[in-house]
Amino acid sequence: MLKKVLIILLSSLAFSCTSVEKNQSFTNETYEKIGFLGYLIDLKISDSKINVIVDKQFPGNTIKITNLINNKTETISNIQKKELDGSRIVYVSDSIKTSLDINSEFPYIKIENFKLNPTFVANKAKIFKEEQKVPNTSRVSNVEVVSLSKKSKIESSKIKNKIYLQYGSFYYSDYANELNKNLKKFLISTNISMYGSKKKGYYVTIGPILNIKKFDEIFKLLKNNDYEGYEIIVQ
């Protein structure tokens, strides 16, 4: 009799733990990626219920986006996921673009998964005007909303930063030298350099890349030739 009671209790406990685990909407996994932002219109998406689309490998349901030019951030929940194979690491609505004060010519950003605490205070979040009539909309916290009629100071100023794509570090110079030669076979008229030492490691760098359009061209060539895995550096 006692054995039966113990079995029932253990079964109930296991079920309870499973139920709690399924209902958690936050993640302990850390994810961070630096790259460039795109717009939902680029994907031909006009659904006002959608604010953010990120790659399906992104963990969790809440994302933090930081504009690395002006350090403005947004934390957004209820994101959509799909396989992304283009040169953008996240796609956002016009409202989020405006709030982040994104420069269209240089949409340099960082995305992170947000470890959503169950005690998150919902009334501190805000909903964009275009979403107020839509149920189950995404909520945004720590956002400075900029009027759509106000011209962005960042947008009007010329971004002077240059893009570099860096591979490495490599322990052996032969590996870096071989990569350097292989890249030059299909990246015609593109500056590619190798530098470093045995003590600090060897690196191969593509750049400077002067604008986002040129970056898109190089991104496509690198992807088609299976030479991804670089780090994006802006200086």
pLDDT tens, residue by residue, 133-178: 444 433 333 333 333 333 444 444 455 689 999 999 999 999 999 9
The answer to whether residues 36 and 107 touch, using CB atoms and an 8 Å cutoff, is yes
SS3 call for 136: coil
The structure tokens listed for 46 are 């006009």
In angstroms, the CA 123 to CA 142 distance is 12
Listed residues 101, 136, 155: the one ending a domain? 155
Residue 2 makes CB contacts below 8 A (sequence gap 6+) with none
Contact 194, 177 (CB under 8 A): yes
Residues 6+ apart with CB under 8 A from 147: none
Same domain, 142 and 208: no
pLDDT > 70 fraction of the chain, expressed in percent and rounded = 69
Domain that holds residue 167: 163-234
Least confident of 29-33, 64-68, 155-159, 229-233: 155-159
Q: Is the peptide bond before 169 cis (omega within 30 degrees of 0)?
A: yes
- Report residue 39's pLDDT band, with 50, 70 and 90 as the boundaries: very high
State how far the Cα of 127 lies from the Cα of 142, in Å rounded to an integer: 12
Does 130 share its domain with 74? yes
Residue 189, pLDDT score: 87
Residue 67's DSSP bridge partners are 109
Pairwise CA distance, residues 215 & 196, whole Å: 24
- Residue 197 parent element (H or E): strand 192-197
Same domain, 135 and 173: no
Given this model, what pLDDT does residue 159 score? 57
* Domain's final residue, options 121, 155, 189: 155
Whole-angstrom distance, CA of residue 60 vs CA of residue 25: 7
Closest CA to 156 of 146, 142, 145, 165: 146
- pLDDT attached to residue 45: 85
Q: Which of 155, 178, 212 is where one domain is finished?
A: 155
Same domain, 126 and 55: yes
Quote the radius of gyration of the chain (alpha carbons, Å). Answer: 23
pLDDT score, position 139: 32
Q: For the chain, report the end-to-end CA distance as a whole number of angstroms.
A: 73
Query: Six-digit token pair at 32?
Result: 């961070």
Mean pLDDT of 45-69: 90
Contacts of 226 (CB under 8 A, 6+ apart): none
Instruction: Write the CATH number for 115.
Output: 2.40.40.10
How many domains are there within the chain?
2
Look up the pTM and report it: 0.68
